[in-house]
Amino acid sequence: MLMKGDTLIMPPGVLVIHAPYTPTDCLLAGGMFWDFYARTQLAPNLAYIKKHNDWITNDDPPGDTVWNIIMRRMQECCEAWEHRETAIRSAEQGERNGLMS
């Protein structure tokens, strides 16, 4: 049970039931965190939410224009993550090669 001032962070891709109940008035702010290691699950999960929006969430689904923007931005983020990981691995390999010389 969360109490006043508590923070709940649910990692992406975790199969848990999210069923909030508030017996008193409450103020809640939320959002999504996209994690590099869960990137392969993002598109299928978002597509599932869009397809089953009538029973999976109480939020209105985004329109097609917004949906396309979300998917394009997600692709850009995944490409940036991949580029960053490649650069880090390359730098680490260069450091190892420099130490072996």
Residue labelled with tokens 């029973």: 55
Cβ contacts of 17 within 8 Å, gap of 6 or more: none
- Work out the mean pLDDT of the chain and round it to a whole number: 78
71 belongs to a structural domain: yes
pLDDT confidence of residue 54: 80
Q: In this structure, is residue 50 part of a structural domain? A: yes
Confirm whether 67 is domain-assigned: yes
Confidence tier at 4 by pLDDT (50, 70, 90): confident
Q: Which two tokens stand for residue 66?
A: 């917004």
Closest CA to 62 of 21, 80, 72: 72
- Tell me what pLDDT residue 101 has: 58
Task: Determine, yes or no, domain membership for 90.
Answer: yes
Q: Which pLDDT does position 60 carry in this prediction?
A: 75
Q: Is residue 62 part of a domain?
A: yes
Domain residues for the domain of 59 are: 36-100
- pTM as predicted: 0.47
Q: Which amino acid is at 44?
A: P
CA Rg value for the chain:
19
57 assigned to some structural domain: yes
Handedness of CA 61, 76, 79, 84 (dihedral sign): negative
Total number of domains in the chain: 1
Residue 25 lies in a domain: no
The confidence score (pLDDT) of residue 38 equals 75
Asked if residue 6 is part of any domain, the answer here is: no
For residues 46, 49, 50, 53, the Cα torsion angle rounded to the nearest 10 degrees is -160
Q: What is the pLDDT of residues 19-61, one digit of tens each?
A: 777 788 877 777 766 777 777 777 788 788 888 878 777 777 7
Helix, strand, coil percentages for the chain (3-state, nearest 5): 55, 0, 45
Is pLDDT at 86 greater than 80 in this prediction? yes
